[in-house]
């Protein structure tokens, strides 16, 4: 016999500002259900959770909660009231029969101090405190809206285990695909005001969704063809049986109404990154850089070489030093020791995790253009802000909306639009996935994967990292950072492989034979650069700069539209010179890079 639902939302309708947000949505939550609630930003997911929690009342529909059942909702912005400590705030959510020791365990797992004052918490820490308060009593139903936001990778993996072990029924909204795949057993899709349920976890959702949309498109095409046939009958058909024809005409009007009122899937975001000049082959090189704050060493003797076209992911727990390392790599922070070399012709576009570049009091259009009119330049083409913002799913009426009135997802899309309009050959993206829906994430992944320049990405989204980066930089303890080829899953596999090999090694390596030191001595490279190599290394930067100036001057002269008609020989001469200089520039950069690599190796 089927168990009765703990929570049932039936035929839920809600309208905001004259536009229906929810139209006949249903949600049934049975004991120990694990439901992923998915849909585009603005589709009403968070609102539906608030209706389930009793925070928002629907315009129409039935909300049933089993008598005596407990419901906990993860608020986006927790209200701490007058409590003196985080531990007191979390413990206030417990019932008389709940385990009080669970509070300390949750605070430890989420990296929070129980004696911390709520007023001193950052936004991310406040959200983790709210998460601890929701999970502490193990209620009958837990409603989680973006629980992984502001969590680092170890904490996300800890939360996965916590959610799987709970006996509560759980409904989750999250942009983290891997988290949903590992924690859910059913999926409810909010789409164009309605809801559809798949009795499988999120891992099966995307294939099912694409099949549903394909079937809809086929049905819509059939309706279009039927309307065309009926319109042909209306113009040229027989009118003898008037009553029957009037019924047919009414049916045609109804089909037209259905076609007009059909709420198609919301259009996709169209992302194009502004392209700048091509950077030099070497983008960033670090040699033995270190950084400490007091006795705490965040980066210790780190060396790497980032070349044009690389896509690097920077991962690690909160507080490991990701931001410190990032700032040293792009030249915003000087290391205590070691060297950082920044390549030539580098134009950086930076996406700030805190969305600090957006002022709440500015209208959306002014935030995009910095108040410089109603046009934005994208790849040298002037575009009206309304058209450009439409590519990022903003409606025309939102152009004059203050940034402070936007949702988290809308702010994320606006900042992406601003950053991607900036001509750049080096994208630095700090937590770009926060508050983005999955369709937008798909397009951002595609943009990064096909980006002709260089990308440095900080993220806790494992699936996003697997789909975008070519290598991962991760902490290894005591300020050491190691670089792994591939994505996040490749990094995990390499770490496990190294640990397995270390366990296998039971004996130290045998001492080298007498002949081995002799052979090694014979094969040992020189301990320093030759005079010729040193001379080339010192003079190549000047040669490279001179070639860049010559190329720029020749290109400026060729930009004259009348040069080809007035002086065709000069035009041909300049074109040949540019080709020769570019070839020589590439060869010089390669030679300089190889010498720098050799020098660094010898110094180590």
Q: What is the torsional sign of CA 391, 396, 400, 406?
A: negative
Q: Which pLDDT does position 181 carry in this prediction?
A: 94
Q: What is the CATH number that goes with domain 7-207?
A: 3.40.50.300
User: Would the pLDDT of 143 be above 50?
Assistant: yes
User: Would the pLDDT of 226 be above 80?
Assistant: no
- Say whether 319 counts as a known binding-site residue: yes
User: Would the pLDDT of 207 be above 50?
Assistant: yes
- Say whether 42 counts as a known binding-site residue: yes
Q: Pairing state of beta strands 426-430 and 348-351? A: parallel
| Measured CA angle at 464 (ends 460, 468), to 5 deg | 120
Distance CA(213)–CA(40), nearest Å, equals 14
User: Would the pLDDT of 57 be above 90?
Assistant: yes
Q: Which pLDDT does position 514 carry in this prediction?
A: 47
Distance CA(470)–CA(482), nearest Å, equals 14
- Say whether 338 counts as a known binding-site residue: no
Q: Greater confidence, 60 or 584?
A: 60
> What average pLDDT does range 378-407 have in this prediction?
82
How confident is residue 417, by pLDDT bands cut at 50, 70 and 90? Answer: confident
User: Would the pLDDT of 422 be above 50?
Assistant: yes
Q: Any idea which fold 531-603 has?
A: Helix Hairpins (1.10.287)
Q: Which pLDDT does position 255 carry in this prediction?
A: 57
Q: Greater confidence, 294 or 438?
A: 294
Q: Which pLDDT does position 231 carry in this prediction?
A: 61
Q: Which pLDDT does position 229 carry in this prediction?
A: 66
- Say whether 46 counts as a known binding-site residue: yes
Q: Which pLDDT does position 495 carry in this prediction?
A: 85
For the chain, the distance separating the N- and C-terminal CA atoms, rounded to the nearest angstrom, is: 71
The pTM assigned to this predicted structure is: 0.70
> What average pLDDT does range 67-93 have in this prediction?
88
12, 51 contact by CB (below 8 A): yes
Q: Pairing state of beta strands 60-65 and 7-16? A: antiparallel
Of 20-34, 125-139, 204-218, 368-382, the least confident: 368-382
**Residue 415 is encoded by which pair of tokens?**
């900042």
Dump pLDDT digits (tens) for 540-591.
888 888 888 888 888 778 777 677 677 877 877 887 888 788 778 777 877 7
Of 128-132, 144-148, 217-221, the least confident: 217-221
- Say whether 237 counts as a known binding-site residue: no
- Say whether 40 counts as a known binding-site residue: yes
Q: Greater confidence, 465 or 359?
A: 465
Q: What is the torsional sign of CA 253, 256, 262, 266?
A: negative
> What average pLDDT does range 1-18 have in this prediction?
84
**Of residues 165, 174, 103, the one with CA closest to residue 132:** 103
User: Would the pLDDT of 248 be above 70?
Assistant: no
Alpha carbon 312 to chain centroid, angstroms: 14
Distance CA(265)–CA(39), nearest Å, equals 11
Q: Which pLDDT does position 288 carry in this prediction?
A: 94
- Say whether 45 counts as a known binding-site residue: yes
Q: Which pLDDT does position 87 carry in this prediction?
A: 93
User: Would the pLDDT of 435 be above 80?
Assistant: no
Q: Which pLDDT does position 234 carry in this prediction?
A: 58
Distance CA(573)–CA(550), nearest Å, equals 13
Please report, for the chain, the start and end positions of each structural domain, with discontinuous segments joined by +: 7-207, 208-261, 279-347+423-506, 356-422, 531-603
User: Would the pLDDT of 271 be above 90?
Assistant: no
User: Would the pLDDT of 520 be above 50?
Assistant: no
User: Would the pLDDT of 436 be above 70?
Assistant: yes
User: Would the pLDDT of 111 be above 60?
Assistant: yes
> What average pLDDT does range 209-220 have in this prediction?
82
Q: Greater confidence, 144 or 586?
A: 144
Q: Greater confidence, 514 or 426?
A: 426
Of 70-79, 188-197, 230-239, the least confident: 230-239
Report H helices in 136-271: 153-165, 177-183, 205-236, 242-261
- Say whether 44 counts as a known binding-site residue: yes
Distance CA(323)–CA(330), nearest Å, equals 11
Q: Which pLDDT does position 36 carry in this prediction?
A: 96
**For the chain, what percent of residues have pLDDT higher than 90?**
31
Is 279-347+423-506's fold the same as 531-603's?
A: no
> What average pLDDT does range 345-352 have in this prediction?
82
How confident is residue 515, by pLDDT bands cut at 50, 70 and 90? Answer: very low
- Say whether 303 counts as a known binding-site residue: no
- Say whether 433 counts as a known binding-site residue: no
- Say whether 39 counts as a known binding-site residue: yes
- Say whether 323 counts as a known binding-site residue: yes
User: Would the pLDDT of 254 be above 70?
Assistant: no
Q: What is the CATH number that goes with domain 279-347+423-506?
A: 3.40.50.300
Distance CA(384)–CA(393), nearest Å, equals 15
């Amino acid at each position: 016999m089927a168990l009765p639902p703990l929570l049932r939302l039936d035929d839920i309708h809600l309208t905001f500002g004259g536009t229906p947000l929810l139209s006949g949505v249903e949600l049934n939550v049975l004991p120990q259900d694990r439901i992923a609630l998915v849909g585009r930003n603005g589709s009403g997911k968070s609102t539906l959770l608030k209706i389930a929690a009793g925070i928002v009342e629907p315009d129409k529909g039935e909300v049933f909660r089993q008598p005596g059942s407990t419901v906990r909702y993860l608020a986006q912005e927790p209200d701490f009231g007058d409590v003196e400590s985080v531990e007191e705030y979390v413990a206030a959510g417990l019932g008389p029969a709940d385990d009080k020791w669970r509070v300390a365990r949750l605070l430890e797992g989420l990296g929070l101090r129980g004696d911390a004052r709520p007023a001193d918490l950052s936004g991310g820490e406040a959200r983790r405190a709210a998460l601890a308060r929701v999970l502490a009593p193990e209620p009958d139903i837990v409603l989680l809206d973006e629980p992984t936001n502001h969590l680092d990778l170890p904490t996300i993996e800890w939360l996965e285990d916590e959610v799987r072990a709970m006996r509560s029924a759980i409904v989750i909204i999250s942009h983290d695909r891997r988290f949903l795949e590992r924690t859910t057993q059913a999926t409810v899709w909010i789409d164009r005001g309605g809801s559809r349920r798949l009795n499988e976890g999120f891992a099966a959702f995307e294939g099912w969704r694409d099949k549903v949309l394909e079937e809809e498109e086929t049905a819509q095409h059939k309706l279009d063809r039927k309307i065309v046939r009926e319109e042909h009958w209306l113009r040229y058909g027989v009118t003898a049986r008037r009553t029957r024809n009037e019924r047919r005409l009414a049916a045609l009007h109804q089909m037209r109404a259905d076609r007009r009122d059909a709420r198609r899937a919301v259009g996709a975001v169209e992302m194009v990154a502004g392209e700048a000049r091509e950077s030099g082959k070497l983008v960033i090189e670090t040699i033995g850089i270190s950084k400490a704050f007091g006795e705490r060493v965040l980066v210790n003797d780190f060396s790497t070489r980032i070349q044009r076209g690389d896509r690097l992911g920077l991962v690690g727990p909160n507080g490991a030093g990701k931001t410190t390392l990032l700032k040293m790599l792009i030249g915003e922070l000087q290391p205590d020791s070691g060297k950082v070399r920044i390549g030539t012709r580098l134009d950086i576009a930076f996406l700030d995790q805190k969305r600090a570049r957006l002022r709440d009091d500015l209208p959306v259009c002014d935030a995009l253009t910095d108040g410089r009119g109603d046009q934005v330049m994208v790849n040298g083409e002037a575009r009206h802000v309304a058209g450009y913002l439409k590519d990022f799913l903003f409606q025309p009426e939102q152009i004059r909306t203050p940034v402070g009135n936007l949702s988290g997802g809308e702010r994320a899309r606006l900042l992406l639009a601003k950053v991607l309009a900036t001509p750049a050959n080096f994208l630095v993206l700090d937590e770009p996935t926060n508050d983005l829906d999955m369709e937008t994430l798909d397009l951002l992944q595609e943009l990064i994967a096909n980006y002709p320049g260089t990308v440095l990405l900080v993220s806790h989204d494992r699936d996003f990292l697997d789909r975008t980066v070519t290598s991962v930089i991760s902490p290894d303890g005591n300020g050491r950072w190691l670089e792994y080829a591939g994505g996040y899953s490749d990094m995990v596999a390499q770490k496990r492989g190294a640990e397995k090999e270390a366990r296998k090694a039971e004996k130290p390596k045998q001492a080298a034979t007498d002949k081995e030191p002799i052979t090694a001595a014979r094969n040992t490279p020189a301990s320093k650069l030759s005079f010729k190599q040193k001379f080339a290394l010192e003079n190549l930067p000047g040669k490279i700069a001179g070639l860049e100036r010559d190329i720029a001057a020749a290109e400026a002269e060729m930009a004259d539209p009348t040069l080809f008609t007035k002086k065709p020989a000069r035009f041909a001469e300049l074109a040949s010179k540019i080709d020769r200089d570019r070839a020589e520039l590439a060869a010089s950069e390669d030679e300089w890079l190889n010498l720098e690599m050799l020098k660094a190796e010898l110094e180590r």
